[in-house]
Amino acid sequence: MYEKPSMYRTLFLSLLLTGCANSIYFYETEKISLTVEARPDSTQPVQGNLGIKQRVAMIVPRKSNDNADGKDGEALSTVSSFDFRIMDDKNFFRFNPILIRTAFVTGEAADKLYDKAPGVAKVLSSYDQALKEIKVESKQLDEIIAHVAKDSDIDPGKLDELINKAEKNHPNILTSTVKIKLREAKKQSELEDLLFNNLDRAIYPLYSSISINQ
Partner 1 sequence: MNNTIRIIVNSDENDAQVSAQKLQIKGFQTTITKTENIVLDGTELGGHLDILSDPDGAVFVVTGTK
Q: Catalog residues that contact partner 1 under the rule CB under 8 A.
A: 87, 122-123, 126-127, 129-131, 133-134, 177, 196-198, 200
Question: DSSP class of residue 195?
Answer: I
94-110 b/e with 16+ CB inside 10 Å = b?
eeeeeeeeeeebbeeee
At closest approach, how far in Å is the CB of 130 from partner 1? 4
- Dist CA 191 CA 199 (whole Å): 10
At closest approach, how far in Å is the CB of 173 from partner 1? 13
Residue 87 or 117 having the CB closest to partner 1: 87
Residue 60 or 88 having the CB closest to partner 1: 88
Q: Tell me the three state secondary structure of residue 214.
A: coil
Residue 23 or 198 having the CB closest to partner 1: 198
At closest approach, how far in Å is the CB of 200 from partner 1? 8
Residue 196 or 207 having the CB closest to partner 1: 196
At closest approach, how far in Å is the CB of 105 from partner 1? 21
Please, are residues 54 and 43 in contact by the beta-carbon 8 Å criterion? Answer: no
Please, are residues 201 and 182 in contact by the beta-carbon 8 Å criterion? Answer: no
Closest to 198 measured CA to CA, from 214, 176, 175, 182: 182
